[in-house]
Amino acid sequence: MQMRPTLNWVPDGDLPPAVSDWTPVADLLGRGGVLVLSGAGISTESGIPDYRGKGGSLSRHTPMTYQEFTSDPRARRRYWARSHLGWRVFGRARPNAGHRAVAAFARHGLLSGLITQNVDGLHQAAGSEDVVELHGSLDRVRCLTCGTVEPRGALAVRLTEANPGFAPVAAGINPDGDADLTDAQVGDFHVVPCTVCGGVLKPDVVFFGEPVPPQRVEQCRELVRGAASLLVLGSSLTVMSGLRFVRQAARAGTPVVIVNRDATRGDREARTRVALPLGQTLTEVADRLGVEVDQAEPVPHRGEHH
Cβ-in-10-Å burial (0-12, 13-18, 19+) of 295 comes to exposed
Strand partners, 179: 173
Q: Is 51 annotated as a binding residue?
A: yes
Domain 58-92+139-205 has CATH 3.30.1600: yes
Q: Is 158 annotated as a binding residue?
A: no
Between CA 231 and CA 223 the distance in angstroms is 12
Q: Is 43 annotated as a binding residue?
A: yes
- What are the extents of the domains in the chain? 18-48+96-135+212-293, 58-92+139-205
Q: What is the pLDDT of residues 127-178, one digit of tens each?
A: 999 999 999 999 999 999 999 999 999 999 999 999 999 988 877 777 677 7
Q: Is 52 annotated as a binding residue?
A: yes
Q: Is 83 annotated as a binding residue?
A: no
> What is the model's pTM?
0.88
Q: Is 113 annotated as a binding residue?
A: no
Higher-pLDDT residue of 196, 88? 196
HEC-encoded secondary structure of 195-258 = CCCCCCEEEEECCECCCCCHHHHHHHHHHHHHCCEEEEECCCCCCHHHHHHHHHHHHCCCCEEE
The pLDDT, as a whole number, for residue 178 is: 77
Task: Assign domain 18-48+96-135+212-293 to a CATH class.
Answer: alpha beta
Residue among 135, 190, 301, 305 flagged as catalytic:
135
* Stretch (H or E) spanning 115: strand 111-116
Under a CB-based contact definition with an 8 Å cutoff, are residues 22 and 285 in contact? yes
- Verify whether residue 306 is a known catalytic residue: no
Q: Is 55 annotated as a binding residue?
A: yes
pLDDT confidence bin for 50, thresholds 50/70/90: low
Q: Cα dihedral sign for 48, 54, 57, 60?
A: negative
Between CA 304 and CA 128 the distance in angstroms is 19
pLDDT, averaged across the chain: 88
